[in-house]
Amino acid sequence: MEKQLFDKTAVELFTRKIEEQLSARPKAAELFRNCFKDTLDRTLNRLDNGGVFVVTGDIPAMWLRDSSAQLRPYIRLAKQDVQVSLLIEGVIKQQIKYILHDPYANAFNETENGNGHQDDQTDMSPMVWERKYEIDSLCYPIQLAYLYWKQTDNKNLFDHAFLKALYSIIEVWITEQDHENRSAYRFERFHCPDSDTLSRNGKGTETRPIGMTWSGFRPSDDACKYGYLIPSNMFASVVLGYIAEIAEDIYNNTALKTKANVLKAEIEQGIKKYGIYEHPVYGKMYAYETDGLGNYNLMDDANVPSLLSMPFLGYCKADDEIYQNTRAFLLSEQNPYYYVGKAASGIGSPHTPQHYIWHIALAIQGLTAVSLEEKDRILNLLEKTDGDTGLMHEGFHADDPTEFTRSWFSWANAMYCEFVIDFCENSLKKGEKVEL
């Protein structure tokens, strides 16, 4: 990857301000500096077409999800630094190119080089690294574009290609409302764990139409147990609101606005009717997955969108009653992927070994915490669980943070930055704050 795409003066000034805020916590300040420069220094490559390619870390491919999350911490700098602005626009331009190439793919190659999982039984192409269909892959680029627009009031990225991608996304989500009868998407991988492939000859477990839109895989890239992945439908609902606003304010396109709002309402109705589970201990709470046939999966996964991340994604307020009931379940050992250890307690994922907690989940727990005490505790946990590497990781053992997966996972580094910025902006006493 190219090491220096632009003069990082604004980035350096912002980093120093955060470090000043964290002067009483030198380890947190050091981690922030390391993580904040990671995406800019190690993952970016500007392409001849004006796009920017972003590797996820130790895998040489660009995930639509990861690349959006990797760039999100820099949005706040885009208004004051034209080079940061152009960088983010370049990433979004590349993401839109990929969505138009194949809206069912989750990860792409820099060129049509045929790298990745070309032996998978699905409609692969040399540009696609992996074609696991995940709702969130289509949500993230629109979220990034929307937040960038709101921060900068810059409309340059809303061209004809972007509009075409919006239509493509909505058409996929409408099709997948009835995956069983309308969808041509299939995915099979052989000689792999069950979590890497779909059952029933690549169709996935059976579902019936209930308003929500179907997903083959979770944001962990693991197969869904049941096809209606509720946190991803929540994210889609939020993003459809963004699309409706963009359709009206940018394109003056009433038809697209109406289409987005109708689909949003159908997904919302599905979540409210089929996504809420009456738990004997926690009361009304959200399930992680359902199929419309009476089956529910009660859990959460560290990868975002997660149930824990709902307020961060804008679906609800952090003090919402059903969210708080859900949160109590998720942060307990009733959640099969919540681990308690000597070093930390937190949410992991079936994607990694048992008893491995994810830094992304800890960052989300801090970002969605209501109390300052919980935010402070999470920041302490993140400081103490870097495995003495100065960076975040995918998962680490709850008893020993020096045992971890993925030494270079840029999404985790970005989520640490998101949490620290939030902590500095909102959690420190007013007298200690500086404008960021």
In a domain, 404, yes or no: yes
Cα 302 to Cα 51, 94, 199, 286, 308, distances in angstroms: 30, 27, 24, 16, 8
In a domain, 21, yes or no: yes
296-354 pLDDT tens trace:
999 999 999 999 999 999 999 999 999 999 999 999 999 999 999 999 999 999 999 99
Q: Which of 170, 187, 157, 135 is nearest to 86 (CA)?
A: 157
Mean pLDDT of all residues in 149-155: 97
pLDDT of residue 3: 46
Structure tokens belonging to residue 364: 């989300």
In a domain, 411, yes or no: yes
In a domain, 19, yes or no: yes
159-209 pLDDT tens trace:
999 999 999 999 999 999 999 999 999 999 999 999 999 999 999 999 999
Query: Is the confidence at residue 123, as pLDDT, over 60?
Result: yes
265-301 pLDDT tens trace:
999 999 999 999 999 999 999 999 999 999 999 999 9
Full DSSP string of 152-184: H---TT-SHHHHHHHHHHHHHHHHGGGHHHH--
pLDDT of residue 9: 86
In a domain, 312, yes or no: no
In a domain, 130, yes or no: no
Q: How many domains does the chain have?
A: 1
Cα dihedral sign, 329-330-333-337 = positive
CB atoms within 10 A of CB 181: 8
CA 242 to chain centre: 16
Structure tokens belonging to residue 255: 């038809």
Mean pLDDT of all residues in 62-88: 96
Which pTM value belongs to this model?
0.96
Structure tokens belonging to residue 302: 């560290």
Query: Is the confidence at residue 118, as pLDDT, over 50?
Result: yes
In a domain, 49, yes or no: no
| Owning domain of residue 366 | 14-39+337-427
Distance CA 355, CA 322 (A): 27
Mean pLDDT of all residues in 391-413: 97
pLDDT of residue 2: 44
Cα 237 to Cα 138, 207, 313, 335, 365, distances in angstroms: 12, 20, 10, 25, 22
Q: Residue 434 — pLDDT band, cuts 50, 70, 90?
A: very low
Q: Residue 105 — pLDDT band, cuts 50, 70, 90?
A: very high
pLDDT of residue 299: 98
4-14 pLDDT tens trace:
566 788 999 99
pLDDT of residue 432: 46
Mean pLDDT of all residues in 155-159: 96
Structure tokens belonging to residue 313: 């994604």
In a domain, 388, yes or no: yes
